Structure 1
């Protein structure tokens, strides 16, 4: 362990409990907050009877340096109602329908969340997006904090990180709630503020005071909730600031791992030698005080982390699944026509069905009629689009054309194939294969346990998008795919042939070219980029990566470095990872002629 870490550890052992709590959540604002005994923004009088006229610096939602252990206990249900003040910053008409912005400027009125308190931690009974009646938003709630402040006259104060996630989509707006409470059920109003998002086409500030009701009472499975949360926190990768890279590895410039405009970034990080080096979670109004709990959308990262893993896992367990005919497993008349002859499951994952309107890069996916696939609530409507939308133009497996509908159809036929197996008639492809077989065992959070689904009895996983992730989830995924080589404790979880191809470890199988992009390939749900010119390599150097809408990239370099960036401005500067690759090469060779990917310990 570097000396500077040992010194920090010694100092932390002498610090106040609240400072330890803040450090555990990545809460630098809490550690540095002034402790005057009376706070200015969001003080007791404001929460009980005052006004909240404008957004404040988010450090107001963090414990101050003079915070005390909580004297009251919260166990029961928190119910919220009311509407915030709002300010629209970006609203792109090409992605929004009539009334969408107006709906997004309101909050759900059926918010009802159960919490159990463990010391100074508030553990929610439910994680991941919670469906409700609101036409635009679903709510995600993360573990919060409770503490006392000298100026609160005996009340205990609670702060709860949350996110608003677009229904049927992935736009994610992070915020914090804060309220005062007492064990007997007394509660103030709840302050709330949203000052950041990962959403290309709709960016909002929301702030205000909501009406709150606290209904004390036992929470079912409270001991299990507390124990599970403690295990989750203990299993997170160690997190150090990006600046620590230069200390641990002299000669590295951490700034080179930050790409694009700061206003577009939510967070970025590097995973190397078991350490998660992470940036701050900056917002329009200061640092987000609970960076460990910031919810991040997957968008099309799910095409890799759900669809790719699903087919490779099924092929590992049941060889031959990847070559099953789509028409035998898709229960829709449109998939039983001649256009689907010779189309196999693997062609769906590779987006190489031979069916399309235009082979130009993203032309079909960006066409307005894709709304007919994205907007419906029901599985039948989405399945009909996936089976019928495009004419047959090429032989299967010969041309790549990007279609999220192909990935959705893969989830559908995999679900059917799974349920035809003896004893697995009622199982779910996400719950019982992807989560139980891979994502759960590698330690992803309960937030990632929930995938978006059709809003009907079928509850079909969307597959091509729809996960909500924490930064630790992204780091663990990258480690599993990179240095982990798809293994846990030496046990291979994914089909080795498909996985080697997806990770560009088989030089004979690079995948199909992505339209006219000569140095990009797509295979088994994963992208790859040839970095030979940027790195000055002697030959082609293909680096696999995952990509999500707006500017989300996770690259697994062959020298054991993983890098990610979560952004939403949709600009090339926010997805071009040449500069991070050059810096990562200082930590070990990346060029294909001399790189050797290390094994995970």
Structure 2
């Protein structure tokens, strides 16, 4: 174990559970040279620090292996109750009679601002051959997943397909230090041109299934999209009052006039400081992020801030507000559509994400560790680069539609994407807007357009950006050095195809 960065002093020279993999018992299915786990997405575990996410790997044979097959499995250590991700590969030898070698593992990359390390070792392992009665269906689903991915090309091919394009402007070292870049891509005309995927010891061998955290991009693709979908299904839904559905928010009167549309815009009127990100950066937010249970998280969220402004007039960023909104929407969907319904598993995954062909790993959200199992809503998702590209195309190119059918309220979605000049949202900073969970920046002076040129984007803690440019292209990157620069990429996209409205 070699510690590289430890902002919160999690470890020292002594042994620690953070320095060890959780014990595991996994089931895999082989189809050809592919080996995929039966269970995908974050797997909650009794280990105090880490939870696994497994992805599909490969099986092959080498002449020197004496009849053994060789397997390699990409995996992620997902920080318990958080969204940091540390990526590794597990490899071992096995025979059909159950013989197996020790398992070697290496973890040498991450998307995590505050905790970076290398970890490696050998583990005792056992292998039990078995037949899974669901194997044919699982194999078919996996093959459909692979076949359904968006076409991928190396970022260098952009210069071939679009003569004159400069691929170096995407993932530019001038904007993001390559040592802290997990992956990036530029999506244009249905192709995902990709780069990055480097570890501290070479290129990751399984970049197609390299997990990255959403952090606050979830406020856009989960909270915002779920709210606009509920508005489509139940007109007037966004006018609902928080206190009516969240009992913890009903006691002090500060939420009796706050509508869901105010919450998604970060305009509840309840805050401590109006300075940019002051409340969000305060130490008391630990009372939201650290507890494992819903009762503690919702109590903090509802009671931490006092009324300072009329709802809908002042932008102040609170992840706790998005947690309240998720709680309210989950209560509503149960009341409106059935007690067994869930705002994430049903409203988003079944109705939108599965039809979009998003990965199984994206279909599992961080939730509270209690019987409530409340989705975090404002953070806590897992994404593959294919998921990012598909979500961006769904929003930016297909206008929130699947097969020509609207998945979200069209008016609210147009406002969120800055396509309605009469409803641009609230003002976080000069030349920035925030509307229905989606950021936007006006860049006409940077690209030479004569009229206002608004660029909607998603943003996540540590250095995550998904830029949905108005020329139907998308630039995304996942990094962890706390930088959020993207103008070089926007200007290059403009050089390929005009951004001017």
Output the TM-score relative to the length of structure 1. Answer: 0.81
Instruction: Give the equivalent residue in structure 2 for 1:469.
Output: 383
CA contact (8 A) 1:241 1:280 kept: no
The reply on whether 1:307 has 2:219 as its aligned counterpart is no
Instruction: Give the equivalent residue in structure 2 for 1:19.
Output: none
CA contact (8 A) 2:364 2:381 kept: yes
Cα distance between partner residues in 1 of 2:14 and 2:234: 44
CA contact (8 A) 2:359 2:387 kept: yes
Change (3 A) 1:271 1:192: same
Task: Pick the aligned partner of 2:469 from 530, 542, 557.
Answer: 557
Task: Pick the aligned partner of 1:282 from 198, 204, 210.
Answer: 198
Cα distance between partner residues in 2 of 1:428 and 1:148: 44
1:451 counterpart SS class:
coil
Q: Extract unaligned runs of 5+ from structure 1.
A: 1-85, 593-601
1:212 counterpart SS class:
coil
The reply on whether 1:198 has 2:107 as its aligned counterpart is no
Instruction: Give the equivalent residue in structure 2 for 1:395.
Output: 310
Cα distance between partner residues in 2 of 1:524 and 1:99: 46
Matches within 5 A, 1:411-450: 411-421=326-336, 423-450=337-364
Deviation at 1:337, TM superposition (A): 2.6
Instruction: Give the equivalent residue in structure 2 for 1:500.
Output: 414
Cα distance between partner residues in 2 of 1:318 and 1:582: 40
Cα distance between partner residues in 2 of 1:99 and 1:540: 55
Instruction: Give the equivalent residue in structure 1 for 2:169.
Output: 256
Deviation at 1:341, TM superposition (A): 2.3
Instruction: Give the equivalent residue in structure 2 for 1:358.
Output: 273
2:25 counterpart SS class:
strand
Cα distance between partner residues in 2 of 1:499 and 1:466: 23
Instruction: Give the equivalent residue in structure 2 for 1:543.
Output: 455
Deviation at 1:520, TM superposition (A): 1.3
Larger radius of gyration: 1
Cα distance between partner residues in 1 of 2:311 and 2:237: 17
Cα distance between partner residues in 1 of 2:251 and 2:227: 21
Deviation at 1:106, TM superposition (A): 2.0
Instruction: Give the equivalent residue in structure 2 for 1:41.
Output: none
Matches within 5 A, 1:138-217: 138-217=51-130
Cα distance between partner residues in 2 of 1:218 and 1:337: 58
Tell me the matched-pair count.
498
Output the TM-score relative to the length of structure 2. Answer: 0.97
* 1:435-461 CA-partner distances (Å, limit 9, x unpaired): 112111111000101000000000100
CA contact (8 A) 2:244 2:256 kept: no
The reply on whether 1:221 has 2:134 as its aligned counterpart is yes
CA contact (8 A) 1:550 1:570 kept: yes
CA contact (8 A) 2:223 2:377 kept: yes
Instruction: Give the equivalent residue in structure 2 for 1:566.
Output: 478
Deviation at 1:342, TM superposition (A): 1.1
Instruction: Give the equivalent residue in structure 2 for 1:451.
Output: 365
The reply on whether 1:113 has 2:113 as its aligned counterpart is no
Instruction: Give the equivalent residue in structure 1 for 2:488.
Output: 579
Instruction: Give the equivalent residue in structure 2 for 1:409.
Output: 324
Cα distance between partner residues in 1 of 2:244 and 2:62: 64
The reply on whether 1:512 has 2:426 as its aligned counterpart is yes
CA contact (8 A) 2:396 2:468 kept: yes
Structure 1 stretches (4+) deviating beyond 3 angstroms?
A: 95-103
